[in-house]
Amino acid sequence: MKKVNVVIIGIGNIGNLHINNILSGEIQGVELAGFCDINPEKLVTAKERYGENYKFYGNAEEVFKDSEVDAVIISTPHYDHPVLAIAALKAGKHALVEKPAGVYTKKVREMIEESQKHPELTLSLMYNQRMNPIYQKAKELVEAGEIGELRRTNWIITNWYRSQSYYNSGGWRATWAGEGGGVLLNQDPHQLDLWQWICGMPERVYSFAYYGKRREVEVETEVTAYVEYANGATGVFVTTTTETPGTNRFEIVGSQGKIVIEDEQLKFWRTVVDEAEWNETYTGGFGEPEVWEIKIPVTFDGESGHRKVTQNFVNNILNGEKLVSPAEDGIFGLSISNAIHLSSWLERWVDLPIDEDLFLAELNKRIATSQVKDTKEQILDTEGSY
């Protein structure tokens, strides 16, 4: 195989982003074969926008039956992500799945298990922020022990502002039946993934989530979650879509250092002596360890990471390049998301790994009373939103 023939399944906001990325010619080894959407109007629009020299499919089954299609990029509403990925794998197609991996971990686990049955096929996730050199460097520093033992994590991510008109742009948006969640499922999968990718998984979660606060939606628009790690470290995650100007600040504190990521910069401070050792030996009362601010040679390159993840996906298919965002990683950030929801619903601590059956039962209660909005879907300008 010299080039990977790929079909985009779901040609809404993010689907068109993938189309333009491929047509830009900046991704090597891939050929856009066609478009798939259950909405015939979107196919008409795609034909007008991109021309007729492609295949147009009215459903995913047609794509999976086409022997000329090597791979699919799945950019549909969230519930369909693992369902379509499983079907793609069974049909012998490689799949790149948009975030989140799914709405609930039980289904994502099924997707991962299906992938393990097909080691010859590639299944990757669009966690594009893993391509950001700043987060890669933070992970490197933590794993190398440069900050000592993890003590505290804190992420304030409130710059995902979304207006009511955004939520009104699709009947499935911000409903339990259509989307399965709000800010945690739509905007924050990137941060929840990076949080665990860099700092590891917590052991338990207690959260406060506010549903329909300041927006006419069913799902959460504001969350504050507290987590505890196995070694006694703690973490806080604060997010909303209704705050402007917003903040994106990630702190990782250890016994011998601190990392702060904000304004597309990474800052690093390190104590000359580990705090635990210094505390055991210091006898002077007031005082604290000597701290150095160290310049780390890393710069955000300005890329959203979508092209890089797609290139990594294609390279894995063609030459076995290691995946940066393999499918099995998708369950971790989603587990935290599910635990945050469950804790807010039950008003108690939730242990990880999560009770998948209990979460799904509680989610189904909300789906049962959900009302998908009767509105015409709009394709929005996504420039700068990822």
Q: What is the DSSP string of 97-108?
A: EPSSS-SSHHHH
For residue range 118-162, what is the model confidence (pLDDT) as tens digits? 999 999 999 999 999 999 999 999 999 999 999 999 999 999 999
- Mean pLDDT, residues 360-374: 92
- Reduced to 3 states (helix: H, G, I; strand: E, B; else coil), residue 90 is helix
pLDDT score, position 384: 54
Residue 218's pLDDT band, with cuts at 50, 70 and 90, is very high
pLDDT score, position 303: 85
- Contact status, residue 225 vs residue 343, Cβ threshold 8 Å: yes
Length of the chain in residues, anyone? Answer: 386
For residue range 79-120, what is the model confidence (pLDDT) as tens digits? 999 999 999 999 999 999 999 999 999 999 999 999 999 999
- Contact status, residue 182 vs residue 220, Cβ threshold 8 Å: yes
Residue 373's pLDDT band, with cuts at 50, 70 and 90, is confident
Residue with tokens 């979460």: 359
Give the residue range(s) of CATH 3.30.360.10 domains in the chain.
130-303+333-368
Percent of the chain with pLDDT strictly greater than 90? 92
- Cβ neighbours of 293 (radius 10 Å): 9
> Does the pLDDT at position 1 exceed 80?
no
pLDDT score, position 379: 63
pLDDT score, position 285: 95
d(CA 149, CA 329): 23
297 Cβ contact list (under 8 Å, min separation 6):
none
Q: CATH number of 130-303+333-368: 3.30.1490.20, 3.40.50.980, 3.30.70.660, 3.30.360.10?
A: 3.30.360.10
- Mean pLDDT, residues 204-216: 98
Give the residue range(s) of CATH 3.40.50.720 domains in the chain.
4-128+305-327
d(CA 89, CA 92): 5
pLDDT score, position 380: 58
For residue range 262-302, what is the model confidence (pLDDT) as tens digits? 999 999 999 999 999 999 999 999 999 999 999 999 988 88
> Does the pLDDT at position 386 exceed 70?
no
Residue of 359, 346, 351 whose CA lies nearest to 202: 351
Q: What share of the chain is helix, strand, coil (3-state, %, to 5)?
A: 35, 20, 40
pLDDT score, position 172: 87
pLDDT score, position 170: 86
In the CATH hierarchy, which fold is given to the domain comprising 4-128+305-327?
Answer: Rossmann fold (3.40.50)
Q: Mean pLDDT of all residues in the chain?
A: 95
Backbone angles phi, psi at 187, to 5 degrees: -95, -45
> Does the pLDDT at position 376 exceed 80?
no
Residue 9's pLDDT band, with cuts at 50, 70 and 90, is very high
> Does the pLDDT at position 378 exceed 70?
no
pLDDT score, position 381: 58
> Does the pLDDT at position 382 exceed 70?
no
d(CA 49, CA 375): 23
Higher pLDDT, 3 or 171: 3
For residue range 293-345, what is the model confidence (pLDDT) as tens digits? 999 999 888 888 999 999 999 999 999 999 999 999 999 999 999 999 999 99
For residue range 38-60, what is the model confidence (pLDDT) as tens digits? 999 999 999 999 999 999 999 99
d(CA 176, CA 184): 12
- Cβ neighbours of 92 (radius 10 Å): 13
